[in-house]
A and B are shown apart, each in its own frame.
Chain A
Amino acid sequence: MTTTQKVKFYQVGSFAVGNRLLEADQRTVQSDASRSNSLTSGHRACQGCGEALGARYVLDAAMRATAGKLVAVNATGCLEVFTTPYPETSWQLPWLHSLFGNAAAVATGVAAALEAQNRSDIRVIAQAGDGGTVDIGFGCLSGMFERNDDVLFVCYDNEAYMNTGVQRSGATPPAARTATTEAVGPDPGNLFGQGKDLPVLAMAHGICYVATATVADLHDLESKVERAMAFRGARYLHVLVPCPLGWGSAPADTIRVARLAQETGLFPVFEAEHGAVTAASAIRHRVPVEDYLRLQGRFGHLFDGSGAVARPDIVGRLQQLADRNIDRYHLLEGGAS
C-alpha cells in the first residue's frame, strides 16, 4: 500500500521555530556546526528511529554542558546494537556497554572511579531503553537513586522490548499490541491496570532532578539535559521515543506521533526537583487520544477498516488516562505543580 504525505517546510501548529530565526545563544546544540556528534552518522538504526534522534540530542547537549568531559554507559538494547556492530562504532565519546540490567550500577562505578581519581569534572550518563530501565534494570537504578550517585540516567522509552521483536515491558501502555500482548480476545492488547510510572517512582526517591521529554520538542529536551547537568547527584530523564517498527507508525510520523502523545495528555511532559513537580509543558492544542492511536498499528484493533473507532470502550478508558494526567499535572493551565 502506498501512502502519500504532504511535505511542509514549516511545522504548522507545533509552535516550533527555525533556528535561524533565533538569537545565536538560543539555538539548539544540533544547529551548531561544531557540535560533538557524540552519536555520529552511519549507525544501523531503522528509518524514523526515535531513540537514535533522542540519544543524539541528549548526548550532544550533555557534551556541551560538560565541555566535552563526559562518559556514557549503555544498557543492552537497540541503542547498543545499532551503534556498535563490531568492529565499527558510532560513539565519539568514551562509551561502555556491560549488560542489560546493570547500566545504573556500572555508571555508579564509573562515577566512583572518577571521584577516587579526583576527576569529578568528568560527568557520567547512563542510558537504557524502557526494558533496561523499568524492568530488568530497575533494581540497579533504584539503588543508584537512593545512594544519590552522581549519574544522569536517561531512559529512551519506546514502550516495549523492540530489540528482541516488540514484546511487552512494564512501560507498554494499556491496549497496545505487542508480540506478547496479542490483539485477540475480549481484552485485546496489553491489560489495563498494569505498568510502572518510572518518573513518579524516580521522584519518590527524592532525587534532585527528574524530567520527561519527547523527541517532538527537541529544544525542550536539550534544555532539560542542560538543566540536569547543572545538578550533582542522581538525576533521571525519561524521553518518549516512538519506534516505527514496534508501534506500526510511518517512519515520517515519528515526530508527529511523539507530539500527539504529549498533546493528548497520554505522556505528560514535566520537571520535578527533590520529589516535587516544578513545571509542566502546557498542552496547546488538546486532541482526543484517538488521533494519536489511529496513527499506530499497535492500536489498530481499536479501529475498523475505515478508521472509525471500533472499540469505544477501550478508547474511552485510554481517554480517561489522558484526562487524569491533564488533571494531575494541570496540563491545560500552563503547567503547574
Chain B
Amino acid sequence: MLRQIEGSKAVAAAVAACRPQVVCAYPITPQTHIVEAIGAMAKSGELTGCRFINVESEFAAMSVAIGASATGARAYTATASQGLLFMIEAVYNAAGLGLPVVMTLANRAIGAPINIWNDHSDAMAVRDSGWVQLFAESNQEATDLHVQAFRLAEELSLPVMVCMDGYVLTHCTERVDVPTQQQVDAFLPPYQPRQALDPADPVTIGAMVGPEAFTEVRYLAHAKQLQALARIRDVADEFGEAFGRRSGGLLRTYRAEDAEVVVVALGSILGTIKDAVDELRDRGARVGVVGITSFRPFPLDAVHEAIGVAPRVVVVERAFSIGFGGVLSTDVALAIADAKARVSTVVAGLGGRAVSEASLIAVVEDAIAGRLEALRFLDLDQRAVERELARMAGDRRSGPSAENLLRDTSTVASGSV
C-alpha cells in the first residue's frame, strides 16, 4: 500500500505486519519513533499477540529479546549508537546462542564527543559479532528488509540487524509501498524454533564450552553466515516475485559495467553517489557504483565480480578504524586482491556532516587523475585541525579539544566564547 510516510513509521508498520510476539523498547535517538509506533499499535489492538515491554536499558532490551527468542517467540527491538554499545555483550550472546532476533539499527555516531547524527560507527563496532548486517539504501528498502530479515533469521537461526541511516532515513518522510498484512503472511511463515525452552522437552541452552569444542562451535557460526550469503540472494529474489519490487540481496551495481572508477558504499549515501555518477557520466567519465547491502556476511565473490577489472576503486565510508583507516575498504580490497586495482578510502559524512554531490565529484575526478590518496577525509577542515594540534603542542593544559575546535570554528558557543 503506497503511503507518504516517515521512514521509522514505515519500518514499524512492516515489523508489525511480521507479527512479533515480544518487542522491547528503550528510547534512543534516532530510533525511538520506530518502537513508539509499534507500542501504539500493540496498545490499540491493531497489533495482536504482542507483548510490548518498556525496559530499563538497551542491555535489558537485548536480554529480554534473548529470553523471548529462546522460548520460541518472534522477538524484535531497535537501537542506535550508544545504545548498541551498551547492549554489546548481549548482542554477541544472541548470535552465539543462535537466536533469530531482528533488530533495527538507526545508524548514529558514537561519542565522545556526543553526537546524535548519522554515521556508521555503531554498526562497525559489532561487525564481528555474528549478526547478519543488512544496510538499507532507501526507506523502501529499509521497510522491505525487515520482512526479509525475519525470514532469514528464522530460517538460519541467526540474528539479523537492519541498518538504516539515522535521520536521513528514519526521519525522512517519502513515498513507501508498505507491505500489507496479507502479503507478509504469505511471505513469512510462523516461527519454528530450532531450540526452545519447553518443559515437555527440556533442553540446556548456554552451557560452558571449553577449548575442546569452542573452535567448532564458532566455525558453525561462520558456516551459517556462509549459508546466509546464498539465502540473502534467494530471499531477495522471492521477495521481488511476491512484492513486485527489488529490495535487499547482497549488493547492487549502477552503471558499473565499463567503469574505470568504481565507487563502493553502504546505505543512503548511495543516492548522492549515483547523482554524482550521472553527472560524471554526462561529462564522459566512466564511473560506476557498487552499493553493498549485505555487509555481514560480506559477499567477497559478488564484490569481485561487480568491480571486475576497474583499475580504481573508491570506497566511501561513514566510519573508520581510528589509527588505521577504512573498514569496508579492507573487505573490498580483499575481495579484489588479485585485480591490482588501486583502492582508496574516503571517510565522509561523520556525525551527520552533509556529503555533497560536488565533493564526491571532486573525489572521483581526483581518482581519475591519480591524485586521490589511499585515505582521505572528505571536506576536512585542515586549518582547524592544525590549529588545535599547535595548541596541544604549545600548552600542556590546552583543554578539551572538541570544545576548542567548536570555539575556533565559531559553530556553536558552548558557554562564554
Contacts and interface: CB of A to CB of B under 8 A. Distances in A.
B207 A105 contact: no
Contacts of B54: 147
Contacts of B53: 108, 112, 147
Given A89-B204, A95-B204, A106 B72 contact: no
A89 B50 CA distance: 33
B233 interface: no
Interface string B74-95: 0100000000000001100100
A94 B198 contact: yes
A106 B90 CA distance: 10
Contacts of A102: 59-60, 63, 66, 90
B115 interface: no
Contact of A142 (B56, B69, B205, B208): B56
Given A91-B204, A96-B70, A97-B206, A110 B90 contact: no
B202 A91 contact: yes
Contacts of A86: 207-210, 212-213
Contacts of A111: 67
Contacts of A116: 21-22, 49-51, 68, 73
A106 B203 CA distance: 16
B57 A113 contact: no
A98 interface: yes
B207 A143 contact: no
B64 A112 contact: yes
Contact of B199 (A93, A112, A143): A93
A69 B206 CA distance: 20
Contacts of A122: 199
Contacts of B253: none
Contacts of B24: 109
Contacts of B206: 74, 80, 84, 95-98
Nearest to A117: B73
A239 interface: no
A53 interface: no
Interface in B205-254: 205-210, 212-213
B240 to A, nearest CB: 31
A140 B59 contact: yes
Nearest to B52: A112
Given A84-B204, A109-B64, A109-B67, A143 B22 contact: no
A85 B90 contact: no
Interface of A is mostly: mixed
Interface string A72-92: 011000001100111101011
A107 interface: yes
5 residue pairs, one from A and one from B, having the closest CB atoms:
A109-B67, A97-B206, A143-B56, A113-B73, A105-B63
B405 interface: no
A94 B203 CA distance: 5
Interface string B163-207: 000000000000000000000000000000000011101111111
B80 to A, nearest CB: 19
B67 A139 contact: no
A65 to B, nearest CB: 13
A291 interface: no
A70 interface: yes
Contact of A107 (B21, B67, B69): B67
Interface string A184-228: 000000000000000000000000000000000000000000000
Contact of B202 (A84, A93, A106): A93
Contacts of B49: 116
B16 interface: no
A104 to B, nearest CB: 8
B89 A113 contact: no
A271 to B, nearest CB: 27
